[in-house]
Amino acid sequence: MSRALRRKLAWIAAGLFCFVAGWALPGWGGLAAFALAYAIAGWEVLWTALRNIARGEVFDENFLMAIASLGAIALGDVAEGAAVMLFYQVGEWFQAFAVGRTRGSVAALMDLRPESARVRRDGREAEVVPEEVRPGETVLVRPGERIPVDGVVLSGLSALDTAALTGESLPREIGPGENAASGCINLTGLLEIRATKAYADSTVARILALVEEAAERKARTEAFITRFARWYTPVVVVAAVAVAALPPLLAGGAWGTWVYRALTFLVISCPCALVISVPLSFFGGIGAASRRGILLKGSTCVETLANVRTVVFDKTGTLTRGAFAVTQVRPVGMSRERLLEVAAHAESVSTHPLAAAVVRAWGTSIRAGAVTEAREVAGQGVRVRFEGHAVLAGNARLMASAGIALPPADEPGSVIHVAVDGAYAGSLLAEDTPKPDAAEAIAALRAVGVRRTVMLTGDGESAARRVAAALGLDRFFAKLLPADKVAHVEELLRETRADDPRARLAFVGDGINDAPVLARADLGVAMGALGSDAAIEAADVVLMDDKPSKIAVAIRIARGTLAIAWQNIVFAVGVKAAILVLGALGLANLWAAVFADVGVCFLAVLNAIRALRLR
């Protein structure tokens, strides 16, 4: 509990003590105790109301409570005036406590910023604040410490806890040459990291800025509540004046009775339940998503996500790994293992992605000195001598240049042909394979009511068809340039709106090469954005890990958040409307009005906090 909340609680306790004493003391002593209780509980409200009036902000909840409580005292009921203030302050304390707990949960969740950084300068270690680390400097990160800035590992092996960024509980192994993102916790070994960015441009700084900005970007529902509160309060004040004045003037009613009803009307009408609980619902939803490695750039994204009915995917790096893997080995005249061994040793001299895939498929270390006379033929493959044999490994053009006949083939993916001593020895098929959870992601999207799943890719027709069939996508478009992708998204937008004017389209890409399409869609979602500046800047929703299945999770959280916000709106407006009628008819007094106001607000805030726990 914060110091301010503890201090406020002490004042409330003192006021309650005086209030109880007022009932125990006789005559003027009791009256003085009630007056002291009112002063203790009400001075802050009265001062705030006067200050706001001086600024031209007349109609707020402080004004309503001040008028109602002073009116009760003017009618001769000091105890009731003190009760109004005390119960109001108790409700305000519980609301502040609940809001503080919610904000504290989000703050703890996003507590990514390290307190200090240890850098090597002039041969010595120096401890500085992260903002003072310069690109190119060597940063030392010990086990248990948080990485202060983005960089590349120079030395050391360790495991990184990326849970605060990605929501993943399993640590990620890291070693020399690999990128280390700021905000991750080093778990096991000492790491030396060369800083590649200043702190202001690092992943952790950008994420923290996004979380802060998210609270300021209001959804339409929040904006409606803000506008509603601006005209609602003046209207109820006018209505209260009418309740106080019209019956005595027109029907000869007792002034005291109708003024009392008007004061009750004012207390009931406080819109604090709406003003507090609805923004808190969205804030809680944003926090719930952040805990799972999903960054939502404001409440507007929550509303749009909740209405997504079409999801369009880029292929490479989004639904597929973005890296080749050998999926078939077809030997001719030798064993499968021998073909893999020959191909891997031959391709070990090349830096081409296909060559790297073949070496990975072999899975055993390359024997030193086994490959000689290596020569890489640009755009074709490699020529080497392996264990005294002349080996060719590459595409059909390399085989044709050596006069080696190939078997007929028409398959998606890239084929690496192998020849040994002028004779065809077989082939390997390498493909960009789907991510492990890609098929699960498509099924999960259908489960949450997404009507269309579409893939756009620049790859060939056969490769695109194979991936679409494997994942269960509804449609795909292949051989597309970036401009073609934008045109297809615009057409899909029209189709989505034709089905339902409220339906929205989300485009999911890597955030680097798909900026035009991300901007054109109703909602841009960047995948695998850990450490990617372009992804964080381009998209509305940022998935900090590489899992497309998180999209359905984000949609579920968004819909749950929106449902909680509307529950609070309907509950608060419905209960207040009913009690306003009872107050105007004289069936609810000031005590009931305060209980109704505080109770409605407290229950709405508790409901809003549920958004932080959405699953």
Q: What is the pLDDT of residues 519-554, one digit of tens each?
A: 788 898 888 665 556 556 667 888 877 789 999 999
442 and 509 fall within a common domain: yes
Catalytic site residues? 314
Residue finishing a domain among 180, 197, 214: 197
358 and 465 fall within a common domain: no
Q: What is the b/e burial string over 128-159, where b = at least 16 CB atoms within 10 angstroms of the residue's CB?
A: bebeebeeebbbbbeeebbbbbbbebeebebb
Determine what percent of the chain falls in helix, strand and coil, rounding each to the nearest 5: 55, 20, 25
Give the pLDDT confidence score for residue 136 in this predicted structure: 92
Give the pLDDT confidence score for residue 426 in this predicted structure: 93
- Residue 440 belongs to domain with CATH number: 3.40.50.1000
Residue 255 lies in a domain: no
Phi-psi label, residue 413: left if phi above 0, alpha if psi -120 to 50, beta otherwise: left
410 and 539 fall within a common domain: no
Residue 509 lies in a domain: yes
Residue finishing a domain among 434, 451, 484: 434
447 and 304 fall within a common domain: yes
Domain total for the chain? 3
481 and 493 fall within a common domain: yes
262-278 pLDDT tens trace: 877 776 766 666 666 77
Give the pLDDT confidence score for residue 46 in this predicted structure: 86
Distance from C-alpha of 515 to C-alpha of 188, rounded to nearest angstrom: 37
368 and 473 fall within a common domain: no
Give the pLDDT confidence score for residue 27 in this predicted structure: 82
Q: Which residue has the tokens 């504290």?
A: 104
Give the pLDDT confidence score for residue 584 in this predicted structure: 72
Residue 462 lies in a domain: yes
Per the CB < 8 A criterion, the answer to whether 167 and 294 are in contact is yes
Distance from C-alpha of 577 to C-alpha of 562, rounded to nearest angstrom: 22
- Residue 185 belongs to domain with CATH number: 2.70.150.10
Coil, strand or helix at 375: strand
Burial of residue 369 (CB within 10 Å: 0-12, 13-18, 19+) is exposed
Give the pLDDT confidence score for residue 275 in this predicted structure: 66
Residue 489 lies in a domain: yes
Q: Which residue has the tokens 């549920």?
A: 610
Give the pLDDT confidence score for residue 330 in this predicted structure: 92
309 and 354 fall within a common domain: no
Residue finishing a domain among 397, 412, 434: 434
461 and 532 fall within a common domain: yes
Give the pLDDT confidence score for residue 411 in this predicted structure: 63
342 and 394 fall within a common domain: yes
Name the token pair of 455. Answer: 């893939």
Give the pLDDT confidence score for residue 614 in this predicted structure: 67
Phi-psi label, residue 426: left if phi above 0, alpha if psi -120 to 50, beta otherwise: left
471 and 427 fall within a common domain: no
Give the pLDDT confidence score for residue 87 in this predicted structure: 74
Distance from C-alpha of 374 to C-alpha of 347, rounded to nearest angstrom: 10
Give the pLDDT confidence score for residue 95 in this predicted structure: 63
150 and 190 fall within a common domain: yes
Q: What is the b/e burial string over 594-604, where b = at least 16 CB atoms within 10 angstroms of the residue's CB?
A: bbbbbebbbbb
Residue 270 lies in a domain: no
Residue 333 lies in a domain: yes
Residue 220 lies in a domain: no
CB atoms within 10 A of CB 178: 12
Q: Tell me the residue range of the domain where 534 lies.
A: 294-320+435-556
Q: Give the helix/strand (H/E) hosting 476.
A: strand 475-477
Give the pLDDT confidence score for residue 1 in this predicted structure: 61
pLDDT < 70 stretches in the chain: 1-2, 58-61, 64, 68, 72, 75, 91, 95-96, 98-113, 163-170, 207-230, 233, 267, 269-276, 409-413, 511-513, 515, 528-538, 590-591, 594-598, 614-615
Give the pLDDT confidence score for residue 532 in this predicted structure: 57
- Residue 390 belongs to domain with CATH number: 3.40.1110.10
Residue 594 lies in a domain: no
316 and 328 fall within a common domain: no
Give the pLDDT confidence score for residue 168 in this predicted structure: 61
